[in-house]
Structure formats: C-alpha cells, structure tokens
Amino acid sequence: SRAGMVLSVLVILLLSMLYEAVKMGKAVLLRRALLALPRSLSRESLAEPEEGGTGPAQGSCIFFPIFFHRWFRYHVGQTLFHVVQVVLGYMVMLAVMSYNAWIFLGAIAGSTLGYFV
C-alpha cells in the first residue's frame, strides 16, 4: 500500500541519518581519545606522584596509568559506536538490495541529510 511504502521510505531515511550521526559520534570519540593521551610518554609523565610527595614516584612501575583508563573508556565507546554503525549500514544495504527505487532514494536522501546535519 502507499502508506506502507511511505513508512518504509521514512524508516530507511531515518536509519541512513542515524548511520551518519553514529559515524560522526565515532569521529568525536576518536578525537577525545587522542586528546586523553599524554603528549609525552616519558617515564616522569607516566609515573604517579607518591602520597604526600610532590614529584613522581621513584622506582615504581605503573602498569595502567591514569591516562590509559580514560583512553580505554573512549576506546570501548568507539567499539560500541562501530558495532552500531556496522549494523545500521547492513540494514540500509539490505533494504537497498530490495531493488526498490523509492527505498534507494530514501537511503540516499537520508545519507545526504544526515551528513548535512
């Protein structure tokens, strides 16, 4: 029916827009993850200060520095965004593979609008 086709095209349009939004979110998380890394990986910048001390801990080996925890959280977020992006991409691809011109145009319009927004 016409209503079903319009609804299908609208859903594909929204899925395509969401795909572009997830792609942008993944790029933002990558930028934040890179900013969370220290500029210098010298031993002094990686060592945690001792309690009550003002300088870096002498002779301590830190396996998971604080910056690593922040970077790891961003990396987990990027991984989740990637999974959502792949699932959305395959869903839109499967819809386009129905060889329906209106569905195809909905995917193109959604991708265009999503990128523009």
List the chain domain ranges. 2-43+62-116
pTM for the full predicted model: 0.69
Cβ neighbours of residue 81 closer than 8 Å, sequence gap 6 or more: 22, 25, 26, 29
pLDDT of residue 56: 52
Please list, residue by residue across 49-60, b when 16 or more beta carbons sit within 10 angstroms of its beta carbon and e when fewer do: eeeeeeebeeee
- Please give the average per-residue pLDDT across 66-88, as a whole number: 83
Strand partners, 61: none
- Locate tokens 């993850």: which residue? 33
- Please give the average per-residue pLDDT across 28-39, as a whole number: 79
State how far Cα 34 lies from the chain centre.
13
Alpha carbon distance 57, 31 (integer Å): 30
Please indicate whether residue 53 or residue 11 has the higher confidence score (pLDDT): 11
Q: Averaging pLDDT over each range in 31-35, 41-45, 98-102, which range is the top one?
A: 98-102
- Using the 8-state DSSP alphabet, how is residue 65 labeled? -
